[in-house]
């Protein structure tokens, strides 16, 4: 994948999002970033991006456990709404539940599973891995 223009972070934790903003700045993973607090807000925001003809995110970092609409619900609606693009989606969670890891790995939309906390090292590794694809 060439340089990432836009990364989308979907997570309800304000402290995590603050840290992610700092990590994204430090690693220069993407030119821009957009943050949403839950799956429903993200679906609405992504729909607006499509309708406005703006650049769709190249990468989505999706939390599993969120209020209103969790990560799994987001993925279902993402497909149903026809939002699916050539976007890499990574599930991000503090859960070490093997069933969730397996479910993520068996879902065709999901490119990988990343355990929280995200660190500069993990983001740099992700950046290198994305360059290879």
CA–CA separation, 80 vs 85, rounded Å?
A: 13
> What average pLDDT does the chain have?
93
Number of domains in the chain: 1
Number of Cβ within a 10 Å radius of residue 48: 10
pLDDT single digits (tens) 104-113: 889 999 999 9
pLDDT higher than threshold 70 for residue 116: yes
Report whether pLDDT(9) > 70. yes
- Supply the pLDDT for residue 91: 95
Spatial neighbors of 46 by CB under 8 A, at least 6 apart, are 8, 56, 57, 78, 83
Predicted TM-score of the model (pTM) = 0.94
- Looking up residue 122, the CATH number of its domain turns out to be 3.40.50.2300
**C-alpha distances out from residue 17 to 24, 38, 39, 83, 99, Å:** 10, 12, 15, 23, 25
What CA–CA distances, in Å, run from 114 to 14, 60, 106?
18, 12, 15
d(CA 132, CA 32): 21
Question: What's the rounded mean pLDDT across residues 26-43?
Answer: 96
The per-residue pLDDT for 97 is 84
- Stretch 93-102: mean pLDDT, rounded? 87
The string over 11-47, giving b where at least 16 C-beta atoms fall within 10 Å of a residue's C-beta and e elsewhere, is bbeeebbeebeebbeebebbeebbbbbbbbbbbeebe
Torsion sign across C-alpha atoms 59, 111, 115, 129: negative
- Domain enclosing residue 64, as ranges: 4-132
Mean pLDDT throughout 26-52? 96
In this predicted structure, the answer to whether residue 2 has a pLDDT above a threshold of 70 is no
Query: pLDDT band for position 95 (50/70/90)?
Result: confident
């Amino acid at each position: 994948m060439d340089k990432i223009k836009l990364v989308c972070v979907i997570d309800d934790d304000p402290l995590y999002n603050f840290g992610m903003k700092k990590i994204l700045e430090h690693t220069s993973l993407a030119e821009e970033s957009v943050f949403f607090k839950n799956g429903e807000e993200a679906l609405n925001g992504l729909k607006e991006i499509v309708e406005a003809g703006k650049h769709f995110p190249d990468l989505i970092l999706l939390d599993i456990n969120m209020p209103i609409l969790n990560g799994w619900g987001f993925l279902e609606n993402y497909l149903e709404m026809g939002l699916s693009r050539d976007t890499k989606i990574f599930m991000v969670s503090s859960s070490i539940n093997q069933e969730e890891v397996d479910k993520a790995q068996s879902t065709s939309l999901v490119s990988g599973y990343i355990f929280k906390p995200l660190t500069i090292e993990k983001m740099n590794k992700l950046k290198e891995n994305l360059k290879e694809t």
